[in-house]
């Protein structure tokens, strides 16, 4: 194929990120098939028409079924609220369309399994939006581990924190509702941490977990009252990896001051790797070698030596951003569709991530006894 027709369903934060990635991926990577922006879908139709013109799509619709069944469309980007993912992915697969869907897969593990079954039956490519595994600094961390730079990995420590729900007076939204969002911080943020942990350390077994809803209710935006928060604000878990290494992860959407703290440490027998997405162009490496007086962490700045950084910037230290990760992910979608080797998180890996976060939720259920009731 020389090109693929793209439909985009949903135009919020991630919808625009997908649109920009589709527009730039060929300019960055130069690989076929080349995206052809066909149909943009959102409601109301006037909004869809305005953004189709802005994003460069050929046409607009307010009917997602029309977007999926359009004969000019080969791949569907799904960036809708969580509750719509299952139906849209299943219908896209049945229509023979390739899929790029944002995480989490669905509001329930049962729906996620149904999605995976339909994708396998249809034989289409389904990539799930775990863009942080595409960061060149993270890719280099994976290579360093494989090369034995810190010896045998023995422990993983991971954190993912934001403060978008830290204020108890922040208004209630669909993200607080089980039927709309599914899990809380686990589905919104912890899944990203799990995606990194799996790529670094291997398969995951949940040993123990705890979850907490800090603010049991939130004010409605129109001032008419309050509504219950039905999912978790904080989650923590003890893990065991397939190698026998152990780990601990913790996540919070009520952590004041944290904007996108997605960080990890991998402790090895002969050193350590450390990373924080808020400083996404830096990877810290400690190697226990040489004179003790001269040992210390080395800061590795991302540069052309860390592919595919060099396709964006020709010089080290000039920094990449969040949107660049989405473009790299779009490139991985293109590779998967073309049958080439791809770093994309495909459906089976995404389902394993989903299983892990639901195991954490199940292990922590009933232990959430410290809600403030605020």
pLDDT at residue 151, as a whole number: 98
Of 22, 154, 158, 101, whose CA–CA distance to 350 is shortest? 101
Asked if the model's pLDDT at residue 54 lies above 80, the reply is: yes
User: What confidence tens digit (pLDDT) does each residue in 295-337 have?
Assistant: 999 999 999 999 999 999 999 999 999 999 999 999 999 999 9
Query: Please, which residues have CB within 8 angstroms of residue 369's CB and are 6 or more apart in sequence?
Result: none
In the block, tokens 């919104």 appear at: 188
142: phi then psi, degrees, rounded to nearest 5? -60, -45
> Can you tell me the distance from the alpha carbon of 52 to that of 225, in angstroms, rounded to the nearest whole number?
37
pLDDT at residue 365, as a whole number: 87
Q: Is the separation of the CB atoms in 200 and 264 below 8 Å?
A: yes
Q: How confident is the model at residue 368 (pLDDT cuts 50, 70, 90)?
A: low
State the first-to-last Cα distance of the chain, in angstroms, to the nearest integer: 56
pLDDT at residue 369, as a whole number: 45
In the block, tokens 């060099």 appear at: 310
CA within 13 Å, CB half, 115: 34
> Can you tell me the distance from the alpha carbon of 24 to that of 46, in angstroms, rounded to the nearest whole number?
25
> Can you tell me the distance from the alpha carbon of 309 to that of 20, in angstroms, rounded to the nearest whole number?
18
Query: Please, which residues have CB within 8 angstroms of residue 128's CB and are 6 or more apart in sequence?
Result: 101, 102, 103, 105, 345, 346, 347, 349, 350
> Can you tell me the distance from the alpha carbon of 157 to that of 262, in angstroms, rounded to the nearest whole number?
11
237: phi then psi, degrees, rounded to nearest 5? -155, 150
Q: The dihedral of CA 129, 131, 134, 139: what is its sign?
A: negative
Instruction: Work out the widest C-alpha separation in the chain, in whole angstroms.
Output: 67
309-318 contacts, C-beta under 8 A, 24 or more apart: 309/136, 311/28, 311/29, 312/28, 317/281
pLDDT at residue 75, as a whole number: 98
* CATH numbers and ranges of domains, the chain: 3-131 (3.40.50.720), 133-316+343-364 (3.30.360.10)
User: What confidence tens digit (pLDDT) does each residue in 160-211 have?
Assistant: 999 999 999 999 999 999 999 999 999 999 999 999 999 999 999 999 999 9
Higher pLDDT, 189 or 365: 189
220: phi then psi, degrees, rounded to nearest 5? -70, 145
Q: Is the separation of the CB atoms in 43 and 29 below 8 Å?
A: no
User: What confidence tens digit (pLDDT) does each residue in 221-273 have?
Assistant: 999 999 999 999 999 999 999 999 999 999 999 999 999 999 999 999 999 99
Instruction: Give the chain's radius of gyration (CA, Å).
Output: 21
Q: How confident is the model at residue 374 (pLDDT cuts 50, 70, 90)?
A: very low
User: What confidence tens digit (pLDDT) does each residue in 118-164 have?
Assistant: 999 999 999 999 999 999 999 999 999 999 999 999 999 999 999 99
Q: Is the separation of the CB atoms in 4 and 125 below 8 Å?
A: no
> What letter does residue 308 receive in the DSSP assignment?
T
Give the pairing of strands 3-9 and 34-41: parallel
Q: Is the separation of the CB atoms in 251 and 189 below 8 Å?
A: yes
């Amino acid at each position: 194929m020389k090109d693929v027709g793209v439909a985009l369903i949903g135009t919020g934060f991630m919808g625009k990120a997908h649109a920009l990635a589709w527009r730039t991926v060929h300019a960055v990577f130069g690989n076929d098939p080349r995206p052809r922006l066909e149909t943009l879908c959102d409601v109301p139709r006037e909004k869809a028409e305005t953004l189709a013109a802005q994003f460069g799509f050929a046409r607009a619709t307010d009917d997602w079924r029309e977007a999926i069944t359009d004969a000019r469309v080969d791949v569907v980007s799904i960036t809708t609220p969580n509750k719509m993912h299952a139906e849209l992915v299943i219908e896209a697969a049945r229509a023979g369309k390739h899929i790029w869907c944002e995480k989490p897969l669905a509001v329930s593990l049962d729906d996620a399994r149904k999605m995976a079954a339909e994708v396998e039956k249809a034989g289409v490519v389904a990539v799930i939006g775990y863009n942080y595994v595409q960061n060149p600094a993270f890719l280099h961390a994976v290579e360093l581990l494989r090369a034995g730079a810190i010896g045998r990995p023995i422990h993983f420590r991971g954190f993912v924190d934001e403060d978008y729900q830290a204020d108890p007076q922040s208004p209630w939204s669909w993200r607080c509702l089980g039927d709309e969002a599914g899990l809380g911080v686990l589905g919104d943020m912890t899944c990203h941490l799990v995606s990194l942990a799996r790529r670094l350390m291997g398969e995951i077994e949940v040993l123990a977990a705890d979850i907490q809803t800090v603010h049991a209710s939130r004010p409605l935006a129109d001032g008419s009252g309050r509504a219950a928060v039905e999912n978790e604000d904080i989650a923590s878990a003890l893990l065991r990896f397939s190698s026998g290494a152990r780990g601990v992860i913790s996540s919070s959407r009520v952590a004041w001051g944290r904007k996108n703290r997605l960080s990890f440490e991998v402790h090895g027998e002969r050193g350590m790797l450390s990373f924080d997405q808020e400083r996404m162009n830096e990877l810290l490496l400690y190697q226990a070698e040489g004179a003790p007086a001269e040992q210390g962490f080395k800061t590795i700045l991302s540069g052309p030596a860390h592919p595919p950084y060099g396709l964006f910037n020709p010089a080290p230290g000039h920094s990449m951003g969040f949107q660049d990760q989405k473009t790299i992910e779009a490139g991985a979608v293109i590779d998967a569709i073309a049958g080439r080797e791809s770093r994309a998180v495909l459906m089976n890996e995404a389902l394993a991530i989903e299983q892990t976060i639901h195991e954490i939720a199940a292990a922590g259920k009933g232990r959430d006894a410290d809600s403030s009731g605020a």
